[in-house]
Amino acid sequence: MTATGVRLRRAGEQFAVAKPLVAIDSASKVYGTNRGLAPLSLAINAGERVALVGPSGSGKTTLLRLLAGALVPDQGPRSVIINGKSPGELKPGRELASLVGIVSQRFDLVPHLPVLHNVLAGRLGHWSLARSVLSLVWPMERRAAQQALARVGIADKINERPGRLSGGEQQRVAIARMMMQSPLVILADEPVASLDPARAEEVMELLVGLVSLDMGHGNGDDGSSQRTLIASLHTASLIRRHFTRVIGLRESRVQFDLPAGELDDAVLDELYDLGDDNGDVEPLAGLAARDG
């Protein structure tokens, strides 16, 4: 299985010419009089790790929610296509859960459920209602949840309440939940925004690890363990180290679309409009740059 995973990953890197996995065809979203997203087109291939950068209000969250199927574009659901399906058209359930999953900045764990059940919640899309009810009393797939927690390094917290965990640990629980959900496309809305640089680095490593990780469930579709990551974040050093591609959004338009390695601070400064007079534009970048 591991060998297959590696082979698929190599294949994915040379995938650029094939049909894109994620296709956004001039999708836009207007909330009342506010423009959430101007018409935007984007193609993302399987196996890419895409970072979305841009100032607050540039449309990153709207874009991610369109991809997650939580919002439907004004042009209709078919203007966002993932692996031939439109997330906005799918009802909550197995199909949508194996297509896309999202991790948010606030982790969004259920405060009164133990970590175990929060992790197992990733399986809710796959389980029947009866199985979900039963699992609250007698946890199903406990071993898989244990493995997921071990992989994110907090196996000992399985019976804790989320409220007793630190921010970094809570985000690990959210990542373990994502492992259980095992979607083809992993979306992350500022997953490290509330974490200190060291924790941000660790969490980002785990998140990127999901892309090539065989999560044991498969996707049911093509058996591929190749996943795609699309995350919004602001830290140039994290982007250069963990991503393959970076897309700059500004006023909900694509300002640049570069290989992550070519992202330099000047490009980012211009995007955030910090100007030349300010030399110390990204204080966190230096802190986060630990052993690469």
Partner 1 sequence: MERTGMEQSHPAGAARARFNVLRWSAYAAALLVALSWAFILLDGNSGFGDLFRERTWQNAGQFVASLAGAGSGAPSPFVQAARWRETGQLALNTLAMSVLAMGIAGAGALVLLMPGARNVSDGTLGGAPSHTGRVVYAAVRIFYTLTRAVPELVWAMLIVFFLSPGIIPGALALGIHNLGIVGRLTSEVVENLDPAPARALRAAGASSPKVLLYGVFPQALPLFLTFLMYRWEVVIRTTVVVGFLNAGGLGREFRLRMSWFHYDDVGLLLVWYLLLVIAVDVLSAQLRRRVRWD
Binding site for partner 1 (CB under 8 A): 68, 70, 91-94, 96-98, 101-102, 104, 106, 108-113, 117, 121-122, 124-127, 129, 132-133, 136, 161, 163, 174, 177, 181
Shortest distance in whole angstroms from residue 48 CB to partner 1: 21
Q: How far, in Å, CA of 226 to CA of 241, rounded?
A: 19
- Closer to partner 1 by CB, 30 or 110: give it: 110
Look at residues 39, 50, 40, 41 and name the one whose alpha carbon lies nearest to residue 16.
Answer: 50
- Closer to partner 1 by CB, 108 or 264: give it: 108
Reading the block at residue 22, the tokens are 């994620």
- Closer to partner 1 by CB, 104 or 225: give it: 104
- Closer to partner 1 by CB, 148 or 285: give it: 148
Shortest distance in whole angstroms from residue 108 CB to partner 1: 3
CB 281 within 8 A of CB 269: yes
- Closer to partner 1 by CB, 6 or 110: give it: 110
Shortest distance in whole angstroms from residue 176 CB to partner 1: 12
Q: How far, in Å, CA of 110 to CA of 18, rounded?
A: 40
- Closer to partner 1 by CB, 84 or 93: give it: 93
CB 189 within 8 A of CB 232: yes
CA distances from 38 to 12, 15, 162 (A): 30, 28, 37
Q: How far, in Å, CA of 220 to CA of 239, rounded?
A: 31
Shortest distance in whole angstroms from residue 72 CB to partner 1: 13
- Closer to partner 1 by CB, 72 or 260: give it: 72
Q: Which residues of 156-173 are buried (b: 16+ CB within 10 A; e: fewer)?
A: ebbebebeebeebbbbbb
Q: How far, in Å, CA of 99 to CA of 97, rounded?
A: 5
Enumerate the β-bridge partners of residue 49.
229
Shortest distance in whole angstroms from residue 102 CB to partner 1: 5
- Closer to partner 1 by CB, 148 or 268: give it: 148
Shortest distance in whole angstroms from residue 37 CB to partner 1: 18
CB atoms within 10 A of CB 74: 13
Reading the block at residue 35, the tokens are 């423009």
Q: How far, in Å, CA of 273 to CA of 184, rounded?
A: 35
Residue found by looking up tokens 């409009």 in the block: 273
* Helical (H) or strand (E) element with 44: strand 34-44
Shortest distance in whole angstroms from residue 292 CB to partner 1: 31
Shortest distance in whole angstroms from residue 114 CB to partner 1: 9
Distance from chain centroid for Cα 62 = 14
